[in-house]
Every structure is written in structure tokens, then in C-alpha cells.
Amino acid sequence: MAPASVKVFGSPTSAEVARVLMCLFEKDVEFQLVRVDAYRGTQRMPQYLKLQPLGEALTFEDDNLTLSESRGILRHIAHKYARQGNPDLIGTGALERASIEQWLQTEAQSFDVPSAEMVYSLAFLPPNMPKQNDNGNGNGNGYGNSNGREVQVANASSKRVVAGATDGKTAASGANGNKQQQKEEEMRKVFEKSKKDLEKLLDIYEQRLEEAAYLAGDKFTIADLSHLPNADRLASDPRSRRMFEARKNVSRWWNNISSRESWEYVKSLQRPPSA
């Protein structure tokens, strides 16, 4: 049996790679996944670095064509393999395709950055942040400190340093506590800004999804697909999932696209192999 002409170099945990894998599954395209850990620096495979000299997260090969931008790859797959798998991903007429492109651009320009920043900030914030008012507006998706003991110790150490204690360990502990608090505060600000931006966008989605089952119309397309990697992380986290649950149409849309078999395949590839 001839080897697959399509190869994907990267980690399935990367949002860029996950988009491409799902599209390939939707289109029933045979491909080879070459797993590359984007964080291993010089340990990365030489052939991958040759394809992607800057060491970016994704490289896609299809015969003699090499691409590295995920949405461009989605367009390529949907067009080249239009006659197999899901026939609706790229649309058929000019109007359908224009609508798909509009919402794909909306995802790239307005959803991708704040959603990625929110995912990043959540990695540094307490896992169980109690609800509190957001800037006094009562939205109830703010922050608290879930790890009270750790924060209290850091604060106590800081106070001893301010009081002029000369113990070296105490000073180091206080400095570390301050750095931790500063990092957490920085991430809280990132979270708040990205949350505000995303909620404005999701309000637009809510109105759009009142009129249609999916963003570009009544069929699942690459415009919906492109949202899945980052949205899945946010919808899976109790600190951010309320953004989806609080909007009836967005919630319905999310449940529909996230339960697709192709996305389940991608998520199975994201899990670490069993020992």
C-alpha cells in the first residue's frame, strides 16, 4: 500500500494542528501524523526543521505542496478533496462560500487572539476561582483565591520583609511570593480583557445563530470548525464555560459542533498514550 501523500507535522494539542486534523477527518483524507513536540527545541526532528525553519507549530505536506497556516490548509483540503467526505465544508455556490469566508475571517481576526489569551491566562490562575462581581456589574465570573493557605503564607512572608526582617529565607520566600502574586495579577488582567472581548463577539454570534444553525448558514463548515480547539478548552473549564452556557443559541451551536465524531477523534489524539 502506497504511503499517504498528506503529512501533518506537529502536536495534536496545538490549536493549529487540531484544526487541520479535524478537517482531514471530516473529508476522509488519508494522512500521516508526524508528532513533533513544539517545545523540545533542538530535539525536534531534522526533517521537520527543514520544512519549517522557524520551528512553528504546524507543517502540512500534500505531494509537493507545503503549507504552515492552518486556515489556508483548511481551504486547501476542502477544495482539493471536495468530492469526498463531508461535501459542505467549503460550500457550493458563490454566496455560500462568501459567507463561510466572512465567518472564517471573523474567527481569525476577532476570536482567535482573545480565546488563546484566555486559555493561556487560565493556566496561571487558581483552578477554583469563587464567583464575585466583575467590576461591580454583578456578572459573577470574577476571581478569588482557591488556594487560601498558599496565598496567606506568601502575604505573611511579604509583611515580614516589609517590616525589616533580615532572615535570608524569609526574604527569599517573600520575593517569590511577590513574583507569584504579580504574575497572577497580570494573568487576571489578561483574562478580564480577553473575556470582555469574547463576550462582545459571542453576543454577535448569539444574534447570528438565532437565524441559522451554524455561523455561515444551515450547514457545518470550516468557519465553525476553526473555532473548536480554543473554544473546547474554554467550554471545558468551569471558570470560562459560562460564556457559552449563558447564551442559548451559542450553547446549542457549541453542543452541536463539539459532539461531532471528527472532533472526538482529534481529542483522542490529544490524550497522552497510556503507560
Q: What is the pTM of this model?
A: 0.77
Mean pLDDT, residues 87-112 taken together: 96
Per-residue pLDDT reduced to its tens digit, 209-260: 999 999 999 999 999 999 999 999 999 999 999 999 999 999 999 999 999 9
pLDDT score for 64: 92
Number of CB atoms found within 10 A of residue 8's CB: 22
Domain spans in the chain, listed from the N-terminal domain onward = 6-81
Contact call for residues 13 and 270 (beta carbons, < 8 A): yes
Report which of 213, 231, 214 is spatially closest to residue 267, judged by C-alpha positions. 231
Across the strands, what pairs with 66? 61
Mean pLDDT, residues 55-69 taken together: 87
Per-residue pLDDT reduced to its tens digit, 65-94: 999 999 999 999 999 999 999 999 999 899
Mean pLDDT, residues 187-208 taken together: 97
Enter the DSSP assignment of 214.
Answer: B
Please check the confidence at residue 154 and state whether its pLDDT lies above 90: no
Per-residue pLDDT reduced to its tens digit, 122-142: 999 988 764 434 443 334 344
Q: Which CATH architecture has domain 6-81?
A: 3-Layer(aba) Sandwich (3.40)
Q: How far from 77 is each of 9, 80, 191, 245, CA to CA, in Å?
A: 16, 5, 34, 32
